[in-house]
Homo-oligomer: A and B are copies of this chain.
Amino acid sequence: MSKNCNFIEKLREVGLRPTKQRVKMCEVLYNREKTFHFTINDLVKLLSEKMNEKISLATVYNTVHAFEKKGYLKEISIDSHKSYFDTNTSAHHHFFDEDTHELIDCDESDIEKINIRKNITGKKINSVEVLVRVASDNQTHK
C-alpha cells in the first residue's frame, strides 16, 4: 500500500470491503514517509488517540491479520514476548535498539550481500534476514 490516499481502491483490489475502520487503520499505518513497525498495543493506542470512535480490540486484531494475509503487513519476531508488525512486507534487514525496543529498517546498501555456503538438500531458501542488535554506547569506559 503506497503513500497516496486511495485506500478505498487498494482495499477493494484485494477483496477487502473498505469499511470506515479499515480505511482509518490504513491512514494510520500507511500515511507516513517511512515504514512503520508496531505492536498491536502501539496501534490500538494510536488509533484511539487519532479517532473519535474507538475501534474494538477484536477488530484491530482481525484487521491486522487480514492485512497480513493480503500481504499488506508482515509479522516480525524479535522479542518472543512481543509481536511486531511491519508495513514493509519485503524481506529486509533490521536494527533493533535494545534500549528503546525500536526496530529500524535497513536498505539494500546498509548490509553487504549475504553469502550462504550451506545448503540443505530438498529445501530451498525462502528468505535471508539479518538482525543487528544495538544498544547505548555510553558505558563508563574503564
A contact residues vs B (CB 8 Å cutoff): 75-80, 82-84, 95, 97-98, 104, 106, 109-112, 114-118, 120, 122-138
Copies of this chain present in the complex amount to 2
Known: A79-B77, A80-B77, A80-B80. A126 touches B114 (CB 8 A): no
Q: Contacting A131 at CB < 8 Å: which of B82, B122, B123, B129?
A: B129
Q: How far is the CB of A42 from the nearest CB of chain B, in Å?
A: 15
Task: Give the one of A80, A131, A138 with max B CB within 10 A.
Answer: A80
Q: How far is the CA of A131 from the CA of B131 in the complex (A)?
A: 8
Main secondary structure of the interface of A (DSSP, over half): strand
Q: Contacting A133 at CB < 8 Å: which of B78, B95, B114, B125?
A: B125
Residue of B nearest to A121 (CB): B137
Q: How far is the CA of A110 from the CA of B125 in the complex (A)?
A: 14
Q: How far is the CA of A125 from the CA of B110 in the complex (A)?
A: 14
Q: Is the CB of B130 within 8 A of A135?
A: no
Known: A75-B80, A77-B80, A128-B130. A106 touches B118 (CB 8 A): yes
Q: Is the CB of B109 within 8 A of A130?
A: no
Q: Is the CB of B114 within 8 A of A97?
A: no
